[in-house]
Amino acid sequence: MTEDALIAAAQVSKAWPFEEARKLVKRFPQGKPDGSPVLFETGYGPSGLPHIGTFQEVLRTTLVRRAYETLTGGAPTRLVAFSDDMDGLRKVPDNVPNQGLLTAYLGHPLSRIPDPFNTYESFAHHNNAKLREFLDRFAFDYEFVSASDRYNSGGFDDALRGVLRNYQAIMDIMLPTLREERRKTYSPVLPVSPKTHQVLQVPIEVVDAEAGLIAFEDHGEMVEHCIFGGQAKLQWKVDWAMRWVALGVDYEMCGKDLTDSVRESGKIARALGGRPPEGLIYELFLDENGEKISKSKGNGLTIDQWLTYGSEESLGFYLFRDPKSAKSLHVGVVPRAVDEYWQFREKLASQPIEQQLGNPVWHLLRANGDTHGAGDTLPVTYGLLLNLVGVLGASATREQVWSYLANYVSDARPEAHPELDVLVTSALAYNRDFVAPTLQRRKPVGTEGAALAALDAELAKAAADAPADVLQNMVYEIGKNPDFGFENLRDWFKALYECLLGSAQGPRMGSFIALYGVANTRALIAEALAE
């Protein structure tokens, strides 16, 4: 496939990363005129530990970045992961230790609060490190930028002058959006108190914009104060706009809870003489109860949890799907995401280019420059692994699972199938934590017992190494036998799953029998039929 053919297909692709990238192509058809990189940004508020909602923004932005590079034939780009760590701590997160320590620092900039985990120089440094750890694990090509570093070093001083010069224009944008009570105290600039070192929410007066001087009341005393060098920060929407202008951000996406912020920050960016970036407003993730996930509540699925029960690739696959639709984010979605990822990966190599560009795996493989892996297959589905481990019980081991895989997989060694080995470990953890505690096989009812006995009789005639499709046909024939009275095959398979596996859903039974073994399956049937 030539580069011209790829670009031509990308220009009409309906995959959302290309639709987003085409917004930027209108702005910079061949990159920026001066040759500087097109700047993509993601933001992180380090008031709590990073969660998948944080990670997804970096991933999705990277997908748009790579799509833009494809459309422009390789125009230079940069990705900045920006941490808002100058924010004052407004609430102590529920999911961190040393709550009393943090309570004593309410209102202080996050980067000037001791680390409750006692591992880094501040709470923000701890949370920033956790974010970078995970992004590095996925080998994202990004640059980390800290608000505190920029404010403290004077890197934002010129931009702060611009805010003070345009103070009234910014107030004219913001005040109509606020409640009457809030208007009385609102200020675009939040000075850091020389007395308490807290970020103050107080009205200010601009004394000298060029010198950065403001006046405000600090605990009963009127003071003049220079806002340069980390002695103040900006109110959220003003801060966002200032950052767009100061850094030259060309693309940034955000959740729909920031829809108003995008509009107002865009107006402020224009007042500062800049141009708001292009961007996508995505739907939020929900927990299993349908509530928005939150860093402070810790009610979502953490990054580590997903990687305990699933694979890195499956996480990316789940996050790729339609960003404008709300998604539930809990452990129950992991197994399906794993298997669907591999289904799409297997299809990729044989698809024409137009279909490849709509395949999530094409985008995920290119996210970090990897063009290998298309067409790869997994010899055993994750769902089948979970069924096997469920039958083996909570005490099953990795070695035990691999001994069963020898019935089904050629060269069944972890070293020969490293990606499958990752899923063996994940399946053991998933079974231990979520399946085994609730697993309950039921007794057969009605003619189900006779059907199971008939299956046992057929299995008694089968070879120990009978192939999965032969075993599947055997199961089908019994389910279709009118003597057993199943209205449809679905009822027969449901009985097999519930009586033999203790689950309402399950795998192709022929594949399961081949994996678990004919003799072992007959033993399962005997247990189900026993009084």
Task: Note whether residue 518 is domain-resident.
Answer: yes
Pairing outcome for strands 254-255 and 143-146: unpaired
pLDDT digit string, tens, across residues 382-431: 999 999 999 999 999 999 999 999 999 999 999 999 999 999 999 999 99
Task: Note whether residue 499 is domain-resident.
Answer: yes
Residue 99, token pair as written in the block:
């709550």
Can you tell me which residue has the tokens 């404008």? 324
Q: Give the Å distances, CA to CA, from 126 to 49, 120, 141.
A: 9, 5, 21
Asked whether the predicted pLDDT for residue 50 surpasses 80, the reply is no
Are residue 136 and residue 268 in the same domain, yes or no? yes
264 neighbors 178 (Cβ within 8 angstroms) = no
Distance CA 175, CA 180 (A): 9
Q: What is the CATH number of the domain that holds 521?
A: 1.10.10
Are residue 257 and residue 305 in the same domain, yes or no? no
Are residue 177 and residue 307 in the same domain, yes or no? no
Count of structural domains, the chain: 4
Distance CA 179, CA 164 (A): 23
For residue 500, the model assigns a pLDDT of 95
Distance CA 165, CA 159 (A): 10
Residues in the chain: 531
For residue 353, the model assigns a pLDDT of 94
96 neighbors 401 (Cβ within 8 angstroms) = no
Cα torsion 98, 101, 106, 109: sign = negative
Helices first, then strands: H and E counts in the chain: 24, 12
Identify the H or E element spanning 85. Answer: none
For residue 297, the model assigns a pLDDT of 61
Can you tell me which residue has the tokens 């943090």? 102
Among the candidates 435, 459, 479, a domain finishes at 435
Please give the average per-residue pLDDT across 136-143, as a whole number: 88
Ranking 15-29, 32-46, 366-380, 473-487 by mean pLDDT, the lowest is 366-380
Distance CA 353, CA 56 (A): 26
For residue 328, the model assigns a pLDDT of 87
133 vs 494, higher pLDDT? 494
Asked whether the predicted pLDDT for residue 464 surpasses 60, the reply is yes
Sort 32 into a burial class: Cβ within 10 Å, 0-12 / 13-18 / 19+: middle
Task: Note whether residue 458 is domain-resident.
Answer: yes
Distance CA 22, CA 72 (A): 10
Are residue 164 and residue 63 in the same domain, yes or no? yes
Phi, psi of 222 (to 5 degrees): -75, 130
Among the candidates 404, 435, 466, a domain finishes at 435
Are residue 185 and residue 319 in the same domain, yes or no? no
For residue 295, the model assigns a pLDDT of 55
Task: Note whether residue 374 is domain-resident.
Answer: no
Distance CA 473, CA 265 (A): 63
Are residue 170 and residue 28 in the same domain, yes or no? yes
- Residue 118: CB atoms within 10 A of its CB come to 10
Distance CA 231, CA 504 (A): 60
Please give the average per-residue pLDDT across 458-475, as a whole number: 96
Beta bridge partner(s), residue 41: 80
Q: Give the Å distances, CA to CA, from 327 to 291, 292, 297, 366, 430.
A: 11, 10, 18, 24, 21
Band of residue 86 on the pLDDT scale cut at 50, 70, 90: very high
Task: Note whether residue 377 is domain-resident.
Answer: no
349 vs 151, higher pLDDT? 151
Task: Note whether residue 376 is domain-resident.
Answer: no
Q: Which of 379, 388, 386 is nearest to 521 (CA)?
A: 388
Band of residue 531 on the pLDDT scale cut at 50, 70, 90: low
199 neighbors 190 (Cβ within 8 angstroms) = yes
Task: Note whether residue 133 is domain-resident.
Answer: yes
356 neighbors 305 (Cβ within 8 angstroms) = no
Beta bridge partner(s), residue 222: 217
Distance CA 473, CA 479 (A): 10
Distance CA 41, CA 54 (A): 13
Give first-to-last CA distance, the chain, whole Å.
64
Name the E strands within 28-116: 38-44, 77-83
Are residue 430 and residue 303 in the same domain, yes or no? no
For residue 134, the model assigns a pLDDT of 74
Are residue 273 and residue 200 in the same domain, yes or no? yes
Band of residue 131 on the pLDDT scale cut at 50, 70, 90: confident
Cα torsion 389, 390, 391, 395: sign = positive
Ranking 135-144, 206-215, 330-339, 354-363 by mean pLDDT, the lowest is 135-144
Are residue 352 and residue 481 in the same domain, yes or no? no
For residue 373, the model assigns a pLDDT of 65
Distance CA 446, CA 449 (A): 7
Phi, psi of 523 (to 5 degrees): -65, -35
pTM for this prediction: 0.89
Are residue 276 and residue 293 in the same domain, yes or no? no
* Residue 111 domain boundaries: 3-282
Asked whether the predicted pLDDT for residue 197 surpasses 80, the reply is yes
Among the candidates 366, 398, 416, a domain finishes at 366
Residue 512, token pair as written in the block:
């399961």
Band of residue 503 on the pLDDT scale cut at 50, 70, 90: confident
Task: Note whether residue 443 is domain-resident.
Answer: no
Asked whether the predicted pLDDT for residue 49 surpasses 70, the reply is no
84 neighbors 111 (Cβ within 8 angstroms) = no
Are residue 266 and residue 404 in the same domain, yes or no? no
Q: What is the CATH number of the domain that holds 104?
A: 3.40.50.620
Please give the average per-residue pLDDT across 9-20, as a whole number: 97
Are residue 159 and residue 106 in the same domain, yes or no? yes
Asked whether the predicted pLDDT for residue 150 surpasses 60, the reply is yes
105 vs 298, higher pLDDT? 105
